[in-house]
Amino acid sequence: MHVTGHTRGGKRPGIRDVATAAGVSYQTVSRVINDHPSVKPATRERVLATIQTLGFRRSATALALASGRTRSVTVLTANTTHYGYAATLQGVEEAARAAGYTVAIGVLESDTVADVRAEVRRAADTGGGLIVMAYDTAGVRALAAVPDELPVVGVVETPSRPPAGHRPWVWTDDREAARTATRHLLDLGHETVHYVAIPSSTRRTGQRTAGWRDALRAAGAPEPRPLAGSWDPAGGYQAGRRLARDPSVTAILCGNDDLALGVIRALHEAGRAIPGEVSVAGFDDAPHSAFLTPSLTTVRLDFTGLGRAAFGRLHGLLEEAEPVAPRPVSVPLLIVRESSGPPPAPLPPNPPSEVPRA
């Protein structure tokens, strides 16, 4: 089953084939396919009909070469399998498809400056715009390595300074999200909240860590040292084993849901009940988090919306649309599930000799 109808000629019909078939110059065909206003309606109809019967499709590469603008965007990312990355990519793709753009993907496999630069170069060769996922070292370096003349938008952690106008950024309000989650745990009655961090994209403290700290300070709660985690359940598991040894730990916030999964596993192995003895909250609301046992309290972030916004900004950059004021894409939403609850009742100073009745 063929998609196009031009089986006879051998190669696909070009603008000139359409022209001769329609009895006009190829010039006019170009005008029709570009929606140029000055074409007589009758002529336009005739050309359109010919395009239809010949199955003409304008060559994207010829268009790119002649016009100088490629209707494509390449997404540069260190990861494609983690939920946040994949969902953001999906958002970019949706928006790009709607706008008739092609989306390419470049994976930053190594984060050395040389490798990152090579990958940026490759992406630049494609000719279109760039969207860089700058959540990690590789991404941050890639964003920095993009030449000034290239249209690029960064998907970043909440920026501390406003981004420059010609290099828009998009972000979710991770700091506020972390504050919200931490407050939730504090409000439940926990004395403090421990934090297992995702790797920071820069040398500075990550936004999620900052938000967690904000909330602790605002509540006057002690500030334990955050545990360096990773992106994976395995990293959460390591951190969880350490935290499980400390009986004073009653609440743990994790930098993402995968870390939380590992932490929960470690606590479980150590025999600590969740949420009876320890509460755990995650970040992202990955699709499986609602089905875990216990189901995971977490903060939902709108990644596909973030991806759509990233493409929107890039599109504006490429087509000289009006610039939009940068702002976080959406408000994070706290989802309370089974993994968080009040802390265990403190041991009474003088243990009663009798078991209290229910």
Partner DNA sequence: CTGAAAGCGCTTACAG
Query: Is residue 11 at the binding interface for DNA, with CB under 7 A as the rule?
Result: yes
| Contact between 106 and a copy of itself per CB under 8 A | yes
Residues contacting 240, CB < 8 A, separation 6+ = 196, 252, 262, 263, 264, 265, 266, 267, 270
DSSP 274: T
Please return the burial class of 268, using the count of CB atoms within 10 Å of its CB with bins 0-12, 13-18 and 19+: middle
Q: Does 327 bind a copy of itself (CB under 8 A)?
A: no
Nearest to 72 by CA among 147, 139, 129, 146: 129
Stretch that binds DNA, among 21-29, 170-178, 239-247, 294-302 (CB under 7 A): 21-29
Q: Does 203 bind a copy of itself (CB under 8 A)?
A: no
Give the integer Cα–Cα distance in Å for 77 and 133.
Answer: 5
48 touches a copy of itself (CB under 8 A)? no
Verify binding: residue 125, a copy of itself, rule CB under 8 A.
yes
Contact with a copy of itself (CB under 8 A) among 23, 25, 60, 166: 60
Residue 338 corresponds to which tokens in the numbers above? Answer: 């089974």
Q: Is 122 in the site for DNA (CB under 7 A)?
A: no
Q: Judged by CB under 8 A, does residue 94 bind a copy of itself?
A: yes
Q: Is residue 30 part of the contact set for a copy of itself (CB under 8 A)?
A: no
Closest CA to 299 of 185, 154, 163, 157: 185
Nearer to a copy of itself, 150 or 219 (CB): 150
Integer Cα distance of 156 and 2 in angstroms: 43
Select from 153-161, 209-217, 248-256, 282-290 the region that touches a copy of itself (CB under 8 A): 282-290
Residue 314, SS3 per DSSP: helix
Give the range of 58-66, 138-146, 283-291, 338-346 binding DNA by CB under 7 A. Answer: 58-66
8: contact with a copy of itself by CB under 8 A: no
- Which residues 148-187 are close enough to bind a copy of itself by CB under 8 A? 148
Using CB under 8 A as the binding rule, whether residue 147 contacts a copy of itself is answered as: yes
How many other β-carbons are positioned within 10 Å of the β-carbon of residue 117?
Answer: 15
The residue within the footprint of a copy of itself, chosen from 268, 326, 330, 336 (CB under 8 A), is 268
Write out the binding residues for a copy of itself, residues 214-253 only, by CB under 8 A.
Answer: 232-234, 236-237
For position 278 contacting a copy of itself by CB under 8 A, the verdict is: no
Residue type, 15: I
Among a copy of itself, DNA, none, what does residue 105 contact (CB within 5–8 Å per kind)? a copy of itself
- Name the helix (H) or strand (E) containing 315: helix 303-318
Q: Which of 122, 140, 276 has the alpha carbon at shortest distance from 201?
A: 140
Cα 87 to Cα 118, 135, 195: the distances in Å are 26, 14, 25
CA distance to 22, 38, 54, 60, 206, per residue, from 49 (Å): 9, 18, 9, 21, 57
CB of 4 to DNA, least distance (A): 12
58 binds DNA (CB under 7 A): yes
Buried b (16+ CB within 10 A) or exposed e, 98-109: eeebebbebebe
Our CB check for DNA shows the closer of 44 and 337 to be 44
Burial class (CB in 10 A: 0-12, 13-18, 19+), 86: middle
62 binds a copy of itself (CB under 8 A): yes
**What is the smallest separation between the CB atom of 95 and a copy of itself, expressed in angstroms?**
11
CB-CB contact of 108 with 76 (8 Å)? yes
Contact between 264 and a copy of itself (CB under 8 A)? yes
Chain residues binding a copy of itself by CB under 8 A are 1-4, 57-62, 64-65, 70, 72, 74, 80-81, 83, 86-87, 89-90, 93-94, 97, 102-107, 109, 117, 120-122, 124-127, 144-148, 232-234, 236-237, 258, 261-262, 264-265, 268, 287-288, 290-293, 295
Binding site for DNA (CB under 7 A): 11, 14-16, 24-28, 30-31, 33-34, 37-40, 42-44, 56-59, 62-63, 65-68
